[in-house]
Structure 1
Amino acid sequence: MMQLYYSPTSPFSRKVRVVSRELARDKQINEILIDPWTDAALRTLNPLSKVPTLILEDGMAVFESAVICDYLDQLARSSNPKSGVIPNDGAERLSALKWQALADGMMAATGRLFADSKRAETDRSEFVMERQAYAIQSGIDAILDGLAQLRTEEPHIGTWSVLIALYYVDFRWPDRRFDIPVRVRDWMAIMSERESLAETIFHLPHFDDDQKSIA
């Protein structure tokens, strides 16, 4: 059985966990909750000491969410060529990967902004924080403009990535600091009924220092 090291606050972990369920691969994966900031064993598996990290049955470590999702997609297609969340080729594939890239950038910006907001004011860079905030809101605006490309039937990797990025913004900024338009929230509500999202909801882990888990 494969092993997935993850944090429940990590949007990249959640993306992999959602995709594994959508591809019906989750029964082949043992999910292991860890604190990537303190778990020394993780560094022996992944030199970056980051989540998610997937350990294959042969012991190979695979990391970075896009790479793990690509592997799981290929694994699913090997048994059913019509399954998968990454389109095979052409403009559809490029569009799906583009949306994934946008969402991954939003996730990174959200995590960085949240981490910086917890620093003492003397240790912050207002320029960097404004840049991260601008990236998040610009990403949301782009999602509104391209919402028709994020299909609700047979959603692709871009769809899942965008959803998780939006939910991560809400998780880190429950005061709704960022403006997610009503039309986008309605779309999120429709998609939230999927079991894969309900089973992987963001929450603080039960570690001694919750605030460290900002991956």
Structure 2
Amino acid sequence: MQLIGMMDSPFVRRVAVSMAVLGMAFEHRPVSVFRHFDQFREINPVVKAPTFVVDDGTQLIDSTLILDYLDQRVAPHARLMPQETAARRDALHLIGFALAACEKTVQIAYEQNLRPEDKRHAPWLERVRTQLGAAFDTLERDVAGAVRAGAWLCGDRLMQPDITVAVAWRFAQHILPGEIAPSRYPALAALSERAEALPAFVGAPLA
């Protein structure tokens, strides 16, 4: 199996970390959608990271779809998504807001780093910043209890909500330094610190 894309993408990184937690071996191909556009296009004409290539050559795109496929390859007790309906709903809630935070972080970074300064639209940028803050506000509120209790978000083991929330937080801190104050989000900062110390995260460094 091949995972194609750069680890500075939270979407690539959440797949890499998840595969490490699941004990799945894979080949990582660090091809950039920006610096290696033509090379990436030869692999996947859509040029979307992550691109995941199954052993039979089938390509999967979109990190959530890739992770769904991988979760179905392991025994139910080892899966990273809860199986019980209410627990799965709560997990999807956390993952959804974490992915929204990733998307808004990317939009801000693109606006600041790729668009010429005289072409930037301040009201749009402020709107996206507000959305990013709202995503992290929601996550902070909803993870605080588990973090205070020293638990993972779905119980006694690391699962997909932990991975995705931690990856989203670290990505925002890395890409937008100073934008999101850790002092405002102590639970998210603590969850990230705990997760980033694990071998699965250390083995998939952001940069």
Q: Which runs of 5+ in 1 are unaligned?
A: 204-215
Q: How many residues align?
A: 196
Give the letter for the 1:75 counterpart.
R
Q: Residue in 2 aligned with 1:67?
A: 65
- Aligned-residue Cα RMSD (Å) equals 1.7
Is residue 31 of structure 1 aligned with residue 28 of structure 2?
Answer: yes
Q: Residue in 2 aligned with 1:58?
A: 56
If the length of structure 1 is used for normalisation, what is the TM-score?
A: 0.85
Q: Residue in 1 aligned with 2:180?
A: 178
Q: Aligned to 2:47, what secondary structure does the other structure show?
A: coil
Q: Which runs of 5+ in 2 are unaligned?
A: 147-152
Work out which of the residue numbers 118, 121, 124 in structure 1 matches 2:120.
124
Q: Residue in 2 aligned with 1:187?
A: 191
The answer to which structure, 1 or 2, has the higher relative contact order (CA under 8 A, 6+ apart) is: 1
Is residue 157 of structure 1 aligned with residue 160 of structure 2?
Answer: yes
CA distance in 1, matches of 2:39, 2:155: 39
Q: Aligned to 1:82, what secondary structure does the other structure show?
A: helix
CA distance in 1, matches of 2:120, 2:136: 24
Give the letter for the 1:52 counterpart.
P
Deviation track 1:139-181 (CA, whole Å, cap 9, x = no partner) reads 111111101352473122122111110000110122x221232
Q: Aligned to 2:2, what secondary structure does the other structure show?
A: strand
Q: How far 1:45 moved relative to its partner?
A: 3.9
CA distance in 2, matches of 1:192, 1:166: 11
Q: How far 1:96 moved relative to its partner?
A: 1.0
If the length of structure 2 is used for normalisation, what is the TM-score?
A: 0.88
Q: After the TM superposition, which of the residue ranges 35-44 and 50-59 deviates more from structure 2? A: 35-44
